[in-house]
Amino acid sequence: MLKRLNELNFVIGLFFTIVSLVLIADDIFNKEKSGDLKLYTGLSFLIFGLLMIIIKTNRSSEK
Amino acid sequence: MKLTLADYLVILVYFAFVIGVGFIIKRKIRSSNDFLSSDRHIPLWITSLAFISANLGAQEVLGMVASGAKYGIMTVHFYWVGAIFAMVFCGLFMMPFYYGSRARSVPEYLKLRFDEKTRGLNAVSFAVMTVFSSGISLYALAKLLEIILKWDFDVSIWVAASVVMIYTFLGGLTSAVYNEVLQFFLIVLGLSPLVIVALHDAGGWANIKAQLQPQFTHAWKYMGHADSNPMGLHFMSLIFGLGFAMSFGYWCTDFLVVQRAMIAKNINAAQRTPIVAALPKMLMPLIVVLPGVIAIAMMTPALQSKGYSIPAAETGGIDYTMTLPSLIAHYYPSGLLGVGVTALIASFMSGMAGNVTAFNSVFTFDIYQSYFVRNRSDRHYLWVGKIITVAGILFSIATAYIARSFNNINDFLQLVFSFVNGPLFATFLLGMFWKRTTGHGAFCGLLAGTAAAAITHGLTIAEGKGGWIAPLYPIRSGMGQAFIVAGVSWTANFITTIVVSLVTKPKPEEELRGLVFSLTPKQPTKHEWYLNPVLLSILLLAATILLNIIFF
């Protein structure tokens, strides 16, 4: 897991996954005027983040 | 605009990640080449996204949204005329020489092709420009945060500069490039929901077209006469000034962007870097031009009930620079507001880090190592590179404070940069494709081009600017003036370089192999079709022409 921090796509995926969780949690606890925009954005970020994490780059090409 | 805990959390996560990338990359830095030029091992997808991200600074993001609101869909010319063609040319014709010559920087290529004085002139002017650009970017960020979030100017300056300094000091160019890719995704994905929701609110593109004057929704139709379009430009000025002199000068010779292609793993990847980058660049208007057009449509009588307007400037009229921040404030709820603000911060930091890393490479390799301390250990130059990184950031901070005290210095510096950058492409074009071009010719051409740019600006006047020699030739828009200045300076450089080259002695042909097109053996391409730079370029150009026709 720690070794994958050397892969940029993993780092980007991790970033968007964390941000998506912040957005989804904020949507659950703080509905106000936002409608579903925050939830949909959070879910889109989550899908993108997980896809970036799953993608396995050629390790030799990173070196 | 008032931020909540979720917004601050997003900003903190972003800062933690960009600094974290610096720490991860730090373990791989062992030599000055690792630190200053990434030792040529970066994968294509990263170099390509970094290639456009280095240009995706604040001026691009805020500036293009503002232009979209001010000039309408004509702003797409900065992409479909002023970028794609030059990027393709850079990949196909110029990267083989930059990469194949093993030069570590654009000024070093000039040394190999011409002589030391041409390299020195380019290196010094580039180093000064990048460090001032970085400072202006920092000033603009702090000013924006002061206006929209009421954050303290000094705190914003020092926090943003410190974050950039930490990750560039730790990981050098690789760290900056990796963060540029993260920033690219953040800007694109962070602003996409804004475009979707604002477009929906405005009733879709068909309704926007119905509400706005046709000059705002056609890219070419009203360019037959300068008085009939919002930019005040004739199409010939646009094609020669922007489409040729300015865009080729920037995308093909500015080390800030070219450096991203020079760190690719091999020559084929270096060639494909600008070409692959041209694809997202072609689609960028969806993120940075369309919001401006939507914003101005929202202010038409039929859509005023939606309650959105672009803020007024202190001097009266519309403050177009505030278009994007005001759209974010209007449409984004808490949490998402943090994403929008972080995207803005990312664009400023991306621009600043790009300038700082280009500055430290050029200063270390082309000024320090060439003129001051030669033949020292690699460890010595690695530490010089690191010290120069810190110095570059401190200079940027000083520039930001100078810009705060003398607001006009921004305009002045941008103007001086355009004088230096405008003619540069003529030097490279002749140097790469005409073996008779001499070092004396290139040097005199650069000086003549810069002088011609200054004189043209002094004789033309647009929107109250220029005309400091004599306001002989009025131009309707500042943008039109910039295109004419670029065109004249390019022509002056081109002619002077040819004339001086013809009366001075050229370098022997054996010294020019690998540096000049006609003296370099052509490598047969044996790649699959999707790796072939020529085929990719043809597809890209066809798509660009098609887009121009659709939005004609």
Q: Domain segments of chain B: what residues?
A: 5-405+522-550, 409-521
Which region among A48-62, B206-220, B393-407 has the lowest average model confidence (pLDDT)?
A: A48-62
pLDDT for B385 beyond 90 = yes
Closest CA to B52 of B362, B339, B261: B261
* Helix or strand holding residue B461 (H, E): strand B460-462
| Exposure on the CB side of residue B108, measured as CA atoms within 13 A | 25
Read off the pLDDT band of A33 (50, 70, 90): low
Answer whether A10 touches B (CB < 8 Å).
no
From its phi and psi, is residue B470 left (phi > 0), alpha (psi between -120 and 50) or beta? beta
- Max intra-chain CA distance, chain A: 48
Average pLDDT over residues B388-397: 94
pLDDT of residue A34: 57
pLDDT for A2 beyond 70 = no
Average pLDDT over residues A5-14: 89
Percent of chain B with pLDDT over 90: 60
pLDDT of residue B367: 94
Query: Which amino acid is residue B88, in one-letter code?
Result: V
pLDDT for B372 beyond 80 = yes
pLDDT for B415 beyond 80 = no
- A-interface mutation test, from B9, B18, B38, B45, most A Cβ less than 10 A away: B9
Read off the pLDDT band of A61 (50, 70, 90): very low
> How close B180 gets to chain A, by Cα (Å)?
11
Per-position DSSP letters for B277-307, written without gaps between them: HHHHHHHTHHHHTHHHHHHHHHTSGGGGGG-
Answer whether A37 touches B (CB < 8 Å).
yes
First to last CA, chain A: 17
Answer whether A54 touches B (CB < 8 Å).
no
pLDDT of residue B377: 93
* DSSP state at residue B214: G
Which region among B315-329, B344-358, B515-529 has the lowest average model confidence (pLDDT)?
A: B515-529
Q: Taking CB atoms and an 8 Å limit, are B10 and A22 in contact across chains?
A: yes
**Gap between the Cα atoms of B472 and B241, Å rounded:** 20
pLDDT for A3 beyond 90 = no
Closest CA to A39 of B336, B325, B198: B336
Q: Taking CB atoms and an 8 Å limit, are A16 and B333 in contact across chains?
A: no
**Gap between the Cα atoms of B551 and B7, Å rounded:** 37
pLDDT for B109 beyond 50 = yes
Question: Which residue range forms the structural domain that includes residue A40?
Answer: 3-62
pLDDT of residue B497: 97
pLDDT of residue B376: 92
The residue written with tokens 């974050």 in the block is B163
Chain B residues in contact with A16 by the CB 8 A cut-off are: 185, 189
Q: Taking CB atoms and an 8 Å limit, are B6 and A37 in contact across chains?
A: no
pLDDT for B525 beyond 80 = no
pLDDT of residue A32: 66
B447, two tokens: 């000086």
pLDDT for A11 beyond 50 = yes
pLDDT of residue B414: 66
Q: Are B124 and B362 in contact (CB under 8 A)?
A: no
pLDDT of residue B432: 93
**Gap between the Cα atoms of B509 and B518, Å rounded:** 10
Chain B residues in contact with A63 by the CB 8 A cut-off are: 41
Q: Taking CB atoms and an 8 Å limit, are A41 and B193 in contact across chains?
A: yes
Using CB atoms, pick whichever of B24, B182, B338 lies closest to residue A15: B182
B138, two tokens: 């920092």
Read off the pLDDT band of B368 (50, 70, 90): very high
Using CB atoms, pick whichever of B24, B189, B335 lies closest to residue A38: B335
What ipTM was predicted for this assembly? Answer: 0.90
First to last CA, chain B: 38
Q: Are B349 and B164 in contact (CB under 8 A)?
A: yes
Helices B267-283 and B533-550: crossing angle, nearest 10°?
Answer: 10
3-state secondary structure at position B355: helix
Sign of CA dihedral B286, B289, B295, B299: negative
- Residue that wins the pLDDT comparison between B262 and B479: B262
B303, two tokens: 């859509």
> How close A58 gets to chain B, by Cα (Å)?
10
Closest CA to B219 of B549, B542, B478: B549
pLDDT for A60 beyond 60 = no
Q: Tens digits of per-residue pLDDT, B472-520?
A: 888 877 778 888 888 899 999 999 999 999 999 999 999 998 899 888 8
A43, two tokens: 């879910």
Average pLDDT over residues B523-539: 82
**Gap between the Cα atoms of B262 and B101, Å rounded:** 11
pLDDT for B403 beyond 50 = yes
Q: Tens digits of per-residue pLDDT, B275-288?
A: 999 999 999 999 99
Q: Taking CB atoms and an 8 Å limit, are A44 and B189 in contact across chains?
A: yes
Q: How many domains does chain A have?
A: 1
Using CB atoms, pick whichever of B43, B331, B335 lies closest to residue A22: B335
Which region among A4-8, B52-56, B205-209 has the lowest average model confidence (pLDDT)?
A: A4-8
A24, two tokens: 């989804």
Q: Tens digits of per-residue pLDDT, B330-350?
A: 999 988 999 999 998 988 888
> How close A5 gets to chain B, by Cα (Å)?
7
Query: Which amino acid is residue B500, in one-letter code?
Result: V
pTM of the model: 0.90
Sheet holding B465-466, edge to edge: B465-466, B460-462, B473-474
Into which CATH architecture does domain B5-405+522-550 fall? Up-down Bundle (1.20)
Q: Are strands B465-466 and B460-462 parallel, antiparallel or unpaired?
A: antiparallel
Q: Tens digits of per-residue pLDDT, B181-215?
A: 999 999 999 999 999 999 999 999 999 999 999 99
pLDDT of residue A58: 52
Q: Mean pLDDT, chain B, as a whole number?
A: 90
Read off the pLDDT band of A63 (50, 70, 90): very low
pLDDT for B316 beyond 60 = yes
Average pLDDT over residues B112-127: 93
Q: Tens digits of per-residue pLDDT, B228-251?
A: 888 888 898 889 888 888 899 889
| Exposure on the CB side of residue B541, measured as CA atoms within 13 A | 13
pLDDT of residue B395: 93
